[in-house]
């Protein structure tokens, strides 16, 4: 296997190695990096779990999971066996000090076999409640004593509110320096999210327009077709605000709204993103109802199949007030974005899986052209993150023919036309952590600012029962109140392709004609 990098010898320790994240994302990421020659020349993966397993049994378990979840399947048995030879299973009880003593012995033995002290990457794929115990034991035995060589990756959720996030940051700072802590948000590893920086700051045609003078509004949507499935117990303590808005959507918003960095150094980019979070206007308790909509999906017939409502899901309280949908409007109080509404929405059991960013430009000051009753369609730049991965520019052109009338057109850059084997988000982020590049990981101040943005909303929803929880049918686009949130300013949720947008306009025309309101 040709190695394409010069990463120092590394030991990766995976806490929760028998869990869902490890089988679906982490080991496929390790395997694909190995196939691409991106893993260190010398590396070992120590898989830690409560269950009793031999190396052979666990490696077989990894093989089955790669067959199901990896973008690169096992094409060569010999190649997989070479990869698997780097994997060791170690039975581990998080609460017992002797487990960490065994871990230390294993680390020392690997260092001895490498002929040098290896880098150590601790990956905590476990519930947040275990972080304190693990961190304290790592400190007690000096397992991560070298800031230049040792790192820890923490999965979300990072706390459940601002106070818990601050406490967790203080706890980790007792064992690790800030530069050792990698708070992961897998959305920042996605190709199209990363490309926002290149698209904005690498092209002179867009950055001069990227401000309040030319942009009318911004929409960010992260919609999921699935429900909570077997995560009802977890979701009851989270909800869409904590699970999605505070991290994924906030991080996408910072990429869209940040100022141009003076360099691509990690701290410079993270400083600019932190500036955005600080600039987000905090919503006052009495304004929560005006700026936010929350919903909960209920039973519906979708594609001929009856889909259960949230209250019927396993592990969910029958009287639950937990939201599965959130739509919000934010403003940024800074020079670039003053007065531009940022609309964000996320939900489960939506019509389709879709993550997208819609930049809507202001209309021309005066136009002699028209396109139907509502005037010309606005110019839009749409960045589709998943499952589609493309960038679309929508604009008006002359309709072929003798009359001077317009029609909408769309230019598309499709990632899949360039590469059908784009790296998964976890591959990008794991490689960055191995290389010691924290650019795409969250810093402590970013996490705390993001929690601060939603604090009053959390408190209002928990304490004020008069704030409605709107029901919406599974398989739709959320409650009608989410449409009204935008309609107050003459906006509507945009489709992520031109064809869908035109179809939506035509359907509205037909509806208005039947109602006798369209002339």
Per the annotation, does 515 bind a ligand? no
Tell me the C-alpha to C-alpha distance, in Å, between residue 423 and each of 85, 183, 370, 379, 455: 23, 20, 43, 31, 35
Crossing angle for the helix pair 131-140 and 162-173, to the nearest 10 degrees: 10
CA gap 289, 281 in Å, rounded: 15
Per the annotation, does 327 bind a ligand? no
Per the annotation, does 190 bind a ligand? yes
Of 456, 493, 467, 498, the C-alpha closest to 478 is 493
Per the annotation, does 198 bind a ligand? no
Per the annotation, does 464 bind a ligand? no
Of 110, 137, 148, 112, the C-alpha closest to 15 is 137
Per the annotation, does 471 bind a ligand? no
Beta-carbon neighbour count of residue 350 at 10 Å? 25
CB contact at 8 A, 21 and 125: yes
CB contact at 8 A, 470 and 481: yes
Of 253, 271, 239, 391, the C-alpha closest to 332 is 253
Per the annotation, does 23 bind a ligand? yes
Per the annotation, does 156 bind a ligand? yes
Per the annotation, does 339 bind a ligand? no
Per the annotation, does 482 bind a ligand? no
CA gap 270, 494 in Å, rounded: 30
* Secondary structure (3-state) at 7: coil
**Per-position DSSP letters for 499-519, written without gaps between them:** HHHHHHHHHHHHHHHHHT---
CB contact at 8 A, 296 and 471: yes
**Is the link from the previous residue into 157 a cis peptide, with omega within 30 of 0?**
yes
- Is 248 designated active site? yes
By DSSP bridging, strand 87-91 and strand 43-49 are: parallel
CA gap 301, 314 in Å, rounded: 19
Show the tokens assigned to 279.
């600039």
* Secondary structure (3-state) at 288: helix
Per the annotation, does 16 bind a ligand? yes
Show the tokens assigned to 508.
């509205």
Per the annotation, does 20 bind a ligand? yes
CB contact at 8 A, 157 and 128: yes
CB contact at 8 A, 324 and 236: no
Per the annotation, does 140 bind a ligand? no
Among residues 248, 290, 470, 491, which one is catalytic?
248
Per the annotation, does 93 bind a ligand? yes
CA gap 484, 136 in Å, rounded: 49
CA gap 170, 176 in Å, rounded: 10
**Active-site amino acid positions:** 248
Residues making up the annotated binding site for substrate are: 186, 190, 224, 243, 348, 353
Residues making up the annotated binding site are: 16-23, 50, 93-94, 156, 186, 190, 224, 243, 348, 353
Residues making up the annotated binding site for NADP(+) are: 16-23, 50, 93-94, 156
């Amino acid at each position: 296997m040709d190695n394409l990098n010069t990463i120092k010898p590394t030991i990766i320790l995976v806490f929760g190695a028998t869990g869902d994240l490890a089988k679906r994302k982490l080991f496929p990421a390790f395997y694909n990096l190995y196939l691409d020659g991106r893993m260190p020349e010398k590396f070992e993966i120590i898989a830690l779990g409560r269950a009793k397993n031999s190396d052979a049994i666990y490696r077989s378990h990894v093989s089955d999971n790669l067959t199901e979840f990896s973008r690169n399947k096992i094409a060569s048995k010999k190649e997989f066996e070479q990869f698997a030879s780097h994997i060791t299973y170690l039975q581990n009880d998080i609460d017992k000090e002797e487990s960490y003593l065994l871990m230390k012995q294993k680390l020392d033995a690997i260092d001895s076999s490498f002929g040098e002290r290896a880098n150590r990457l601790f990956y905590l794929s476990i519930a947040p409640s275990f972080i304190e115990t693990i961190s304290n034991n790592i400190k007690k035995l000096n397992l991560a004593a070298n800031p230049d060589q040792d790192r820890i990756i923490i999965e979300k959720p990072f706390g459940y509110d601002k106070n818990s996030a601050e406490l967790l940051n203080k706890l980790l700072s007792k064992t690790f320096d800030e530069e050792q802590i990698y708070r992961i948000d897998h959305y920042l590893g996605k190709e199209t999210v990363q490309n926002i920086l290149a698209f904005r700051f690498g092209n002179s045609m867009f950055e001069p327009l990227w401000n309040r003078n030319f942009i009318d509004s911004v929409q960010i949507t992260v919609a999921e077709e699935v429900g909570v499935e077997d995560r009802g117990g977890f979701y009851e303590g989270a909800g869409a605000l904590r699970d999605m808005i505070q991290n994924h959507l906030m991080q996408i918003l910072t990429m869209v709204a940040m100022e141009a960095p003076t360099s691509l150094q990690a701290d410079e980019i993270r400083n600019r993103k932190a500036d955005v979070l600080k600039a987000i206007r905090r919503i006052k308790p009495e304004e929560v109802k005006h700026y936010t909509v929350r919903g909960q999906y209920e039973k519906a017939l979708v594609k001929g199949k009856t889909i259960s409502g949230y209250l019927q899901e396993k592990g969910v309280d029958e009287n639950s007030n937990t939201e599965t949908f959130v739509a919000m409007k934010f403003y940024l109080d800074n020079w670039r974005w003053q007065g531009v509404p940022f609309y964000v929405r996320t939900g489960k059991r939506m019509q389709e899986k879709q993550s997208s960013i819609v930049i809507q430009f202001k209309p021309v000051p005066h136009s002699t052209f028209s396109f139907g009753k509502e005037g010309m369609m606005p110019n839009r730049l749409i960045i589709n993150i998943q499952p589609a991965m493309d960038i679309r520019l929508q604009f008006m052109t002359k309709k072929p023919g003798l009359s001077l009338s317009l029609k909408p057109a769309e230019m598309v850059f499709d990632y899949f036309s360039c590469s059908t084997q784009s790296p998964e988000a976890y591959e990008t982020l794991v490689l960055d952590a191995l290389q010691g590049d924290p650019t795409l990981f969250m810093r402590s101040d970013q996490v705390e600012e993001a929690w601060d943005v939603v604090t009053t909303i959390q408190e209002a929803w928990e304490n004020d029962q008069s704030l409605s929880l709107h029901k919406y049918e599974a398989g739709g686009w959320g409650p009608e109140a989410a449409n009204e949130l935008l309609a107050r300013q003459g906006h509507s949720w945009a489709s992520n392709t031109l064809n869908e947008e035109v179809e939506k306009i035509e359907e509205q025309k037909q509806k208005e004609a039947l109602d006798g309101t369209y002339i």
